[in-house]
Protein backbone atom coordinates (compact mmCIF):
# COMPACT_ATOMS: atom_id res chain seq x y z
CA UNK A 1 0.00 0.00 0.00
CA UNK A 2 2.84 2.35 0.83
CA UNK A 3 4.43 1.72 -2.58
CA UNK A 4 1.27 2.91 -4.31
CA UNK A 5 1.25 6.08 -2.19
CA UNK A 6 4.92 6.79 -2.97
CA UNK A 7 4.39 6.17 -6.69
CA UNK A 8 1.28 8.37 -6.74
CA UNK A 9 3.08 11.14 -4.88
CA UNK A 10 6.03 10.92 -7.27
CA UNK A 11 3.73 11.17 -10.29
CA UNK A 12 1.87 14.09 -8.71
CA UNK A 13 5.08 16.09 -8.22
CA UNK A 14 6.35 15.34 -11.71
CA UNK A 15 3.09 16.47 -13.30
CA UNK A 16 2.93 19.49 -11.00
CA UNK A 17 6.33 20.66 -12.29
CA UNK A 18 5.18 20.42 -15.91
CA UNK A 19 1.92 22.24 -15.24
CA UNK A 20 3.70 24.88 -13.14
CA UNK A 21 5.92 25.64 -16.11
CA UNK A 22 2.82 25.85 -18.32
CA UNK A 23 1.12 28.21 -15.86
CA UNK A 24 4.27 30.33 -15.73
CA UNK A 25 4.10 30.64 -19.53
CA UNK A 26 0.40 31.53 -19.44
CA UNK A 27 1.01 34.17 -16.77
CA UNK A 28 3.89 35.64 -18.77
CA UNK A 29 1.70 35.82 -21.86
CA UNK A 30 -1.27 37.39 -20.06
CA UNK A 31 0.87 39.98 -18.30
CA UNK A 32 2.36 41.16 -21.61
CA UNK A 33 5.90 40.36 -20.51
CA UNK A 34 6.55 39.33 -24.10
CA UNK A 35 5.79 41.45 -27.13
CA UNK A 36 3.61 39.91 -29.85
CA UNK A 37 6.64 39.12 -32.05
CA UNK A 38 8.35 37.37 -29.13
CA UNK A 39 5.28 35.22 -28.50
CA UNK A 40 5.32 33.96 -32.07
CA UNK A 41 9.09 33.46 -31.98
CA UNK A 42 8.83 31.43 -28.78
CA UNK A 43 6.12 29.23 -30.30
CA UNK A 44 8.27 28.76 -33.42
CA UNK A 45 11.27 27.79 -31.27
CA UNK A 46 9.20 25.23 -29.40
CA UNK A 47 7.66 23.69 -32.51
CA UNK A 48 10.61 23.86 -34.89
CA UNK A 49 13.68 23.58 -32.65
CA UNK A 50 12.87 21.79 -29.39
CA UNK A 51 10.06 19.40 -30.38
CA UNK A 52 11.80 17.51 -33.23
CA UNK A 53 14.83 16.56 -31.09
CA UNK A 54 12.48 15.46 -28.29
CA UNK A 55 10.75 13.12 -30.73
CA UNK A 56 14.05 11.75 -32.06
CA UNK A 57 15.46 11.28 -28.56
CA UNK A 58 12.35 9.35 -27.59
CA UNK A 59 13.11 6.86 -30.34
CA UNK A 60 16.60 6.09 -29.04
CA UNK A 61 15.35 3.63 -26.43
CA UNK A 62 16.35 0.01 -26.82
CA UNK A 63 13.85 -1.40 -29.25
CA UNK A 64 13.16 -5.11 -29.32
CA UNK A 65 10.86 -6.92 -31.71
CA UNK A 66 8.30 -7.24 -28.91
CA UNK A 67 8.30 -3.49 -28.29
CA UNK A 68 8.20 -2.71 -31.99
CA UNK A 69 5.26 -5.04 -32.60
CA UNK A 70 3.36 -3.74 -29.58
CA UNK A 71 4.02 -0.14 -30.62
CA UNK A 72 3.22 -0.60 -34.29
CA UNK A 73 -0.52 -0.87 -33.57
CA UNK A 74 -0.52 2.50 -31.77
CA UNK A 75 -1.03 4.64 -34.89
CA UNK A 76 -3.99 2.48 -35.93
CA UNK A 77 -5.53 2.72 -32.47
CA UNK A 78 -5.06 6.50 -32.60
CA UNK A 79 -6.72 6.71 -35.99
CA UNK A 80 -9.69 4.65 -34.78
CA UNK A 81 -10.05 6.77 -31.64
CA UNK A 82 -9.92 10.00 -33.63
CA UNK A 83 -12.64 8.68 -35.93
CA UNK A 84 -14.76 7.66 -32.95
CA UNK A 85 -14.28 11.05 -31.30
CA UNK A 86 -15.33 12.86 -34.48
CA UNK A 87 -18.54 10.82 -34.56
CA UNK A 88 -19.22 11.47 -30.85
CA UNK A 89 -18.45 15.19 -31.21
CA UNK A 90 -20.76 15.55 -34.23
CA UNK A 91 -23.56 13.87 -32.30
CA UNK A 92 -22.86 16.07 -29.28
CA UNK A 93 -22.87 19.15 -31.52
CA UNK A 94 -26.35 18.25 -32.73
CA UNK A 95 -27.52 17.39 -29.22
CA UNK A 96 -26.59 20.80 -27.81
CA UNK A 97 -28.01 22.55 -30.89
CA UNK A 98 -24.71 23.95 -32.04
CA UNK A 99 -24.73 26.03 -35.20
CA UNK A 100 -23.98 23.79 -38.21
CA UNK A 101 -21.09 26.06 -39.27
CA UNK A 102 -19.29 25.32 -35.99
CA UNK A 103 -19.86 21.57 -35.78
CA UNK A 104 -16.93 20.68 -38.03
CA UNK A 105 -14.51 22.81 -36.05
CA UNK A 106 -15.91 21.48 -32.79
CA UNK A 107 -15.52 17.88 -34.00
CA UNK A 108 -11.90 18.33 -35.03
CA UNK A 109 -10.99 20.14 -31.82
CA UNK A 110 -12.56 17.36 -29.74
CA UNK A 111 -10.81 14.62 -31.71
CA UNK A 112 -7.28 16.05 -31.91
CA UNK A 113 -5.29 16.09 -28.67
CA UNK A 114 -2.66 18.72 -27.96
CA UNK A 115 0.13 16.22 -27.45
CA UNK A 116 3.04 18.42 -28.41
CA UNK A 117 2.87 21.19 -25.84
CA UNK A 118 1.55 19.36 -22.78
CA UNK A 119 1.13 15.67 -23.60
CA UNK A 120 4.73 14.81 -24.47
CA UNK A 121 6.28 16.58 -21.46
CA UNK A 122 3.78 14.95 -19.07
CA UNK A 123 4.35 11.50 -20.57
CA UNK A 124 8.13 11.99 -20.49
CA UNK A 125 8.03 13.02 -16.84
CA UNK A 126 5.80 10.10 -15.78
CA UNK A 127 6.70 7.23 -18.10
CA UNK A 128 10.21 8.17 -19.21
CA UNK A 129 11.82 7.69 -22.61
CA UNK A 130 10.09 4.40 -23.38
CA UNK A 131 6.65 5.82 -22.65
CA UNK A 132 7.44 8.83 -24.82
CA UNK A 133 8.43 6.52 -27.67
CA UNK A 134 5.02 4.84 -27.51
CA UNK A 135 3.32 8.25 -27.32
CA UNK A 136 5.15 9.41 -30.45
CA UNK A 137 4.07 6.24 -32.26
CA UNK A 138 0.50 6.88 -31.15
CA UNK A 139 0.75 10.49 -32.31
CA UNK A 140 1.81 9.36 -35.79
CA UNK A 141 -1.70 7.95 -36.24
CA UNK A 142 -3.22 11.33 -35.54
Per DSSP, helices labelled H in the chain are: 2-30, 36-45, 51-58, 65-72, 74-95, 100-111, 120-140
Residues near 22 by Cβ (< 8 Å), separated by ≥ 6? 117, 118
Which pLDDT score, from 0 to 100, does residue 88 have? 92
| 126: pLDDT strictly greater than 90 | no
Angle at 47 between CA 46 and CA 49, to 5 degrees: 70
Which sequence spans correspond to the domains of the chain? Answer: 2-140
- Note the pLDDT tens digit of each residue in 32-46: 777 777 778 888 887
| Whether residue 86 has pLDDT greater than 80 | yes
What pLDDT is recorded for position 87? 92
Residue 45 CA to residue 35 CA, distance in Å, equals 15
133 or 83, which is more confident: 83
Task: Give the pLDDT confidence score for residue 128 in this predicted structure.
Answer: 83
**Can you give the pLDDT at residue 6?**
62
Q: What predicted TM-score, i.e. pTM, was given to this entire model?
A: 0.62
Instruction: Collect all residues with Cβ–Cβ distance below 8 Å to 124 and sequence separation of at least 6.
Output: 54, 58, 131, 132
* Lowest-confidence region among 52-61, 97-106, 127-136: 52-61
Amino acid sequence: MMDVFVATTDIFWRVLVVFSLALFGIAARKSDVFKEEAKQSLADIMLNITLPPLIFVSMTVDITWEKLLSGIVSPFIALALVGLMIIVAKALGKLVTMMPQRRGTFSILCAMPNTAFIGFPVILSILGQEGLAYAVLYDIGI
